[in-house]
Chains A and B, each alone.
Chain A
Amino acid sequence: MRRAAVAVVKYASLVVASVMMLLPVALIITGSFKTNQEFLSTGPFDAPENWLNLSNYATAFTRGGMLLGFANTAIILVAAITGTILIGAAAAYAIDRFTFAGRRVTLALFLLATLVPGVTTQVATFQVVKALGLYNSQAALIVLFMGTDIISIYIFVQFMRSIPRSLDEAAKIDGAGHLRIFLQVILPNLKPAIATVIIIKGIAIYNEFYIPFLYITNPDLRPISTSLFAFKGPFGAQWEVISAGVVITIIPILVLFLALQRYVYNGFTSGATK
């Protein structure tokens, strides 16, 4: 009897929580299939008349510039993640495999930087970016995503320790230089760490709003976040188009999450505690 009551409470709380999590998103999805007239005249829980009405999606893609947003995000994502991996792995290689004067200072610099929250320093970072002539360019985003990511270096250093040194040494005996050891021995063996970095960094960059908002004003260069944010202006009276834009933004992340669930959970639980 008591067991049954406990089970009821347990499942009831799960259902209530799930409804609270899903309802706001579900209403955006149904809203995205309504026509403007319909959106204004029907209640939020009324189903759309035509579930195949994709005109809002077409509007979001074309007039809303979401296609361009995706292209820009893709460019930034690929460049920043490639850079992060190379830089993080190179730093980890030097720190774990060599003893050199200044090694401790280098480490301390990286560790100390993890404590500095990016949101606080943007006031001054902005001036640096401007002085470098990178304001209003995608390069600004790429170098900022690359240069301020200490977590990836952390992940690489930790993983690097599990790669046996005998592998480097064997390559060295075969006459390989440091660059070749790095590219042909270290990088391939870092694959699991690279996968983690791609997932957490990829999601973070895709979702990042603050940095593109601050550094990119040219609509042609905007990534997906700020493209969607710009919907508030011209489509302010067309919530069905905004809804379609929101759904379009969520779909890639949902697909990634469903395909790589286990890796996503692992990546975030390990990355977040650092």
Chain B
Amino acid sequence: MALMTPARRAPGRAVDPSARQPGRRVTARRGRDRVVPYLFVLAPIVLLVTFTYVPVANMFFYSVTDWDGLDRVKNFVGLANYVDVFTEPDNLRVFVVSLYYLGASFVQMALALYFATILSFRVRLKNLWKGILFFPYLINGVAIGLIFLNFIRPGGGLDSALLAVGLESVIRQWTGDPEVINYTLAAVSVWRYMGLNFVMFLGAIASVPGEIYEAAELDGANRWHQFRHLILPAIKPIVGLSFILAISGSLSVFEVPYIMTNGGNGSETFVIRTIKMAFENNKVGLASAMAVVLLAIVLVVTWIQRRLVPEERVDLT
């Protein structure tokens, strides 16, 4: 984090040296100076508009048409696609699936908070534990999908491990049973992302100076008191942020279920369905409406987050 903290600049700006030069050169230079910043922002703005704003605008437009992605004509259908998103049972199911991931993200944060707390105090091999807990976050999503397909196949590592510790009654058809599949996939998601939450919490806890803990200990505070009154307040903003990101995150799940099950057996997520509608079923209109709904949810959630979690960061202006 230290990397990112901008040093405060002394107030009062130095006078532009070119302004002091007399005569015509000044105006010539001035004129050129006026163009310079535009030259520097030109490429970033062109890319930004082409690949973010044009698609967003088009998406709104497609969402009120019946376009199939190829046809020259796009017929206006009003809000029919939006009605479909919220009434068609297959479309509604994806919202239910996202609840599994939302639930899982709470488990994930609780685990991350627990490990961040115990690793903030004196522990042997601290860096080793930290590395092991964080590393899955860096692994390629395709690799994770394949690792777990291998791990949970019938008679695979998970079943054998459960058998070895006498828990064979727990063994299920991890991706074969529609009742179980979303728990399995959500658990893989916890395995993958817990490390990021953990490292972020760890960083926030580290921002409390060590002397404060020592002072608290002298005052007779036990570990729970320290957690409750020192650690929790320090990490409140980042926990709040994570909670809120979990909502949009659980709707944006794509990689793990797509790679492991292709969205089959009742594991289809919002994004998988959007992609399938757009690129397999040629329903670009409907897919765009779904994307607009997701975008709207993300924007609302971000707006709530900005209102609830006070902005600590320096803004760009």
Contacts and interface: CB of A to CB of B under 8 A. Distances in A.
B142 A225 contact: yes
Contacts of B141: 207, 209, 225
Interface in B163-198: 164, 191, 196
B52 A121 contact: yes
A100 B275 CA distance: 41
Interface residues of A, number: 111
The 8 closest A-B CB pairs, nearest first, are A147-B47, A94-B40, A98-B37, A124-B55, A161-B6, A124-B59, A91-B44, A162-B7
Contacts of A17: 111, 115, 132-133
16 contacts: A20-B191, A23-B161, A24-B157, A44-B157, A91-B41, A94-B41, A106-B41, A110-B316, A120-B295, A125-B51, A169-B14, A178-B33, A225-B141, A229-B259, A242-B150, A253-B139
Nearest to B49: A109
Contact of B6 (A11, A27, A147, A158): A158
Contacts of A4: none
Contact of A90 (B43, B118, B127, B203): B43
A198 interface: no
A162 B6 contact: yes
A91 B37 CA distance: 8
B47 A87 contact: yes
Contact of B316 (A102, A107, A264): A107
Interface string A200-235: 000100110110001000000000111011011000
Contacts of A20: 191
A83 B129 CA distance: 36
Contacts, number: 289
B47 A143 contact: yes
B294 interface: yes
A152 B39 CA distance: 19
A81 interface: no
B87 interface: no
Interface in A1-27: 6, 10-11, 13-14, 17-18, 20-25, 27
B36 A111 contact: no
Contact of B4 (A147, A155, A164): A155
Interface stretch (B97-105, B210-218, B226-234, B248-256): B248-256
A128 B53 CA distance: 11
A128 B58 contact: yes
B264 to A, nearest CB: 13
A178 B36 contact: yes
Given A90-B43, A228-B143, A243 B150 contact: yes
A21 B298 contact: no
Interface of B: 1-4, 6-7, 9, 13-14, 17-18, 33-34, 36-38, 40-41, 43-45, 47-56, 58-59, 62, 69, 111, 114-115, 118, 123-124, 127, 129, 131-143, 146-148, 150-151, 155-157, 160-161, 164, 191, 196, 199-200, 203, 223, 238, 241, 248, 252, 254-255, 259, 271, 274-275, 278-279, 284, 287-288, 291-292, 294-295, 298-299, 302, 313-314, 316-317
A185 interface: no
B140 A225 contact: yes
B299 A119 contact: no
Contacts of A273: 200, 238, 241, 313
A104 interface: yes
B250 to A, nearest CB: 12
Contacts of A224: 140
Contacts of B146: 28, 228, 231-232, 242-243, 245-246
Given A17-B115, A18-B133, A109 B48 contact: yes
Contacts of B127: 261
Interface in A244-274: 245-246, 249-250, 253-254, 257, 261, 264-270, 272-274
Nearest to B69: A127
